Chain A
Amino acid sequence: MRRQRSEQIIYFLIRMVMYSIVLVIGYILFDIIRNGLPALSWEFVSEYPRKSGAEGGILPAIVGTLSLLVGTIIVALPLGICSAIYLSEYAEQNRFTAMIRLAIITLAGVPSIVYGLFGLGLFVLFLNFGTSILAGSLTLACMILPTIIVSSEEALRAVPRGYRDASLALGATRWETIRTNVLPYSLSGIITGSILGIGRAAGETAPILLTVAAFYLPRLPNSIFDQVMALPYHLYILATQHPEADKVLPLQYATALVLLLLVLGLSLGAIIIRIHFRKKYRW
């Protein structure tokens, strides 16, 4: 009787915790949508800002964030997946690889401003890329690499050993085996983890603050060596640095809403790709 009772209490508590999390997230979303939607319009997403962001749209910030994300994906995805393949399929499991893993996990926990400083030192100054899309993308890529590596390695390890054995026993080389019978089955997991990382990159302010983001630049970039505005940084400026912070409050909310929609779009894309691969390779 007492055991049954404590079971009920635990169940109740766990459910309440879950509800409270959903509630908090729901409230944040509700607040952003309620305050941001009125200010959101086609002009807002398609026009250049005027009067240091107090009027006009946020097109350069949207384009800036998108180009940063594209750059980040181009750098981080191949590097991350290749590292994960090496760790999971090729590397011997010894003290050295254990140390590499520990380093990767530690890197995942490093504060993002440290990545910003690292990017400033290495890409902006030492490699002389200047504050640019290139430097910003590389910095963001470094920041999300650990996430991509760890989640990709887990996805690869989840593929049953039997598939590898069967393929090798048929005379396939190790790489043929990975390419045809390991990677395809783990792709949905790899993509999920990567999107998580990329979504985080989309919202980060600190790493781009020092490596790419422009305070106010009402034009589009011409090359990867240009500075750009970016949504999270623009939001930060509007909220804390703008002389008329109260007046631009609706614009802050609308900017946040656009950023949210962007990340949501990414996640949706990931879900669609996942469903596609789940269907194709059912196991």
Chain B
Amino acid sequence: MVETSIFPADTDHVITTRQVNFFYGETQALFDISMDIPGRRVTAFIGPSGCGKSTFLRIFNRMNDTITGTRLEGEVHINGENIYENGSNVVRLRRKVGMVFQKSNPFPKSIFDNVAYGPRIHGTKDRQELVEIVEKSLIRSALWDEVKDRLETNAIGLSGGQQQRLCIARALAVGPDILLMDEPASALDPKSTIRIEDLIGELRNDYTIVIVTHNMQQAARISDYTAFFYEGRLVEFNATKKIFTKPREKQTEDYITGRFG
């Protein structure tokens, strides 16, 4: 992927990777991936299971660090900073790069405490300030109207779709620029999925969103750019419209037309 002509001239690249190789122990999971991810756009990663798209996503907030025996080669820059450089601050990185997981994982605490968790660990103590952050985040994640009267109840009592929107609110509460979403709707019913997709549409103007999805229709619906991964390699990366209408690579075409995967 040398050409960058897929972006308009004034595009601001928020995430940049160069020759990234990634290993789980001796097993290489990603091969030589270089790509630029534009700011304030939705970029979708698609590809069959095990193609490395989730692994690649988790590189951007260094979540792979939590798995022992993993190793990365190459460079990853976020907002110009080499995040794998010695001395790079993981805590600060994760404040700027939020993540939503495949399986919704609200803490078994109150709805309020869930959203306030991030601000609290980052030092916000003032109750009024926390109340404002929680309200703002829940409004942004389109959950406020459903939960405003029961902020003190346990989040485990929410439905799957509500839980996932709560996780988005929780991620937004620490004020990130980038949102990583690892198949955020794959465990949800169609109605809840649409709500999440609508929400992504509302957030796209203010956040750089990178979403991993199994669902090609979803990628087509919500993303501006789409990257197709296969067996640990980035096969094709282009504007979503082009990927789904005129893919350059045979493999991409086979995948999106459902010939494999």
Contacts and interface: CB of A to CB of B under 8 A. Distances in A.
A246 interface: no
B259 interface: no
B108 A170 contact: no
Interface stretch (A107-115, A157-165, A208-216, A223-231): A157-165
A168 B99 CA distance: 10
A93 B25 CA distance: 13
B43 to A, nearest CB: 19
Nearest to B122: A171
Given A162-B103, A180-B121, A169 B108 contact: no
A166 B92 contact: no
Contact of B167 (A92, A166, A171, A281): A166
Per DSSP, chain A at the interface is helix
A166 B30 CA distance: 24
A164 B67 CA distance: 12
B136 interface: no
Interface string B48-82: 00000000000001010010100000000000000
B108 A282 contact: yes
Contacts of B92: 171
B124 to A, nearest CB: 12
A88 interface: no
B121 A176 contact: yes
A166 B61 CA distance: 12
Contacts of A180: 117, 121
Given A93-B68, A283-B156, A166 B105 contact: yes
A282 B108 CA distance: 6
A164 B95 CA distance: 16
Nearest to B102: A162
Q: Which of B68, B91, B107, B167 has its CB near the most chain A CB atoms (within 10 A)?
A: B107
Contacts, number: 66
A283 B121 contact: no
A170 B105 contact: no
A180 B117 CA distance: 9
Contacts of B68: 92-93
A170 B174 contact: yes
B34 interface: no
Nearest to B154: A282
A74 interface: no
Nearest to B91: A171
A170 B156 contact: no
Contact of B91 (A162, A173, A185): A173
A267 interface: no
B94 A169 contact: yes
A171 B63 contact: no
Interface in B105-141: 105-109, 117-118, 121-122
Nearest to A281: B108
Contacts of A176: 121
13 contacts: A93-B68, A160-B105, A164-B66, A168-B63, A169-B61, A169-B94, A169-B99, A170-B121, A171-B91, A171-B174, A185-B108, A281-B108, A282-B154
Interface of B: 61, 63, 66, 68, 91-95, 98-99, 101, 103, 105-109, 117-118, 121-122, 154, 156, 167, 170-171, 174
Q: Which 5 A-B pairs have the closest CB atoms?
A: A162-B105, A283-B108, A171-B94, A169-B99, A170-B118
